[in-house]
């Protein structure tokens, strides 16, 4: 490669990277990348460690899940893991309005599943801030 072209490319790409970081700073809220890393670390065998489907046979109702300091809930639609943060108000409404944390104290939360049409809640997990690293 022509040295001048190489040097020019390095400079241009460095400037581009800096611009990208300025325009799209890493958000203070947890990123999807961090969530996926946490899931990988916390649940190396995701399908085995998530609460199994037979414990969530009631797909339209509430289930009490022990939730010490848990702040995130993950669920699976088909094979796709979706994770949402439980906000300060301790309510969570997903894009599909499918999972709602309706009450939480220091040890437990009631999770109400309101599956949207065609939503397959075969797995659900609740995990902690510390698991997210």
Partner 1 sequence: MTIDLTALPKPTELAVPGFVLLVLLELIYGWRSHKVRFEGQDTATSLIMGLGSTVSGALTAGLLYTAIIWLWDNARLLDVGTSLPVFGAAFILDDLRYYWVHRCGHRVRWMWAAHVIHHSSQHYNLSTALRQTWTGQFTPGVLFAVPLVIIGFHPAIIAFCTGLNLIYQFWIHTEAIDKMPRWFEAIMNTPSHHRVHHAKNPAYLDANYAGVFIIWDKIFGTFVPESDAEKCVYGLVSDLGTFNPLKVAFHEWEGIFRDIGSAKTWQHRLLFLVAPPGWTPDGSRLTSDMIKKRWQRLNADKSTAE
Q: Please select the residue that binds partner 1; options are 23, 57, 60, 105, rule is CB under 8 A.
A: 23
Query: Residues binding partner 1: what is the number (CB under 8 A)?
Result: 35
Q: Which is nearer to partner 1, 40 or 91 (CB)?
A: 40
Q: How many angstroms separate the CA atoms of 71 and 106, rounded?
A: 11
Is position 29 an interface residue for partner 1 (rule: CB under 8 A)? no
Q: Which of 89, 75, 86, 69 is nearest to 46 (CA)?
A: 75
Least distance CB 44 / partner 1 (angstroms): 9
Asked if 129 touches partner 1 (CB under 8 A), the answer is no
The answer to whether 110 and 101 have CB atoms below 8 angstroms apart is yes
What is the bridge-based pairing of β-strands 61-66 and 80-85?
unpaired
Closest CA to 102 of 131, 69, 61: 61
Q: Which is nearer to partner 1, 12 or 116 (CB)?
A: 12
Residues near 91 by Cβ (< 8 Å), separated by ≥ 6? Answer: 100, 101, 102
Considering the rule CB under 8 A, would residue 33 count as an interface residue with partner 1?
Answer: yes
Interaction of residue 38 with partner 1, rule CB under 8 A? yes
Euclidean distance between the first and the last CA atom of the chain, given in angstroms as a whole number: 42
Smallest gap from Cβ 29 to partner 1, in A, equals: 12
Spatial distance between the Cα atoms of 26 and 15, rounded to a whole number of angstroms: 17
| Among 65-73, 75-83, 86-94, 104-112, the segment contacting partner 1 (CB under 8 A) | 75-83
Residues that bind partner 1 (CB under 8 A): 1-2, 5-6, 8-10, 12-13, 16-26, 31-34, 36-38, 40-41, 45, 78-80, 120, 122
């Amino acid at each position: 490669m022509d040295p001048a072209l190489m040097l020019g490319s390095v400079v241009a790409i460095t400037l581009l990277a800096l611009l990208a970081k300025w325009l799209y700073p890493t958000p203070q809220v947890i990123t999807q990348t961090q969530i996926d890393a946490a899931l990988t670390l916390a649940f190396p065998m995701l399908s085995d460690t998530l609460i199994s489907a037979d414990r969530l046979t009631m797909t339209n109702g509430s289930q009490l899940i022990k939730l010490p300091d848990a702040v995130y809930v993950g669920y699976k639609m088909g094979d796709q893991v979706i994770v949402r943060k439980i906000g300060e108000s301790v309510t969570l409404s997903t894009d599909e309005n499918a999972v709602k944390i309706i009450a939480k104290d220091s040890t437990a939360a009631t999770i109400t599943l309101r599956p949207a049409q065609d939503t397959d809640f075969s797995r659900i997990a609740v995990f902690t801030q510390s698991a997210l690293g």
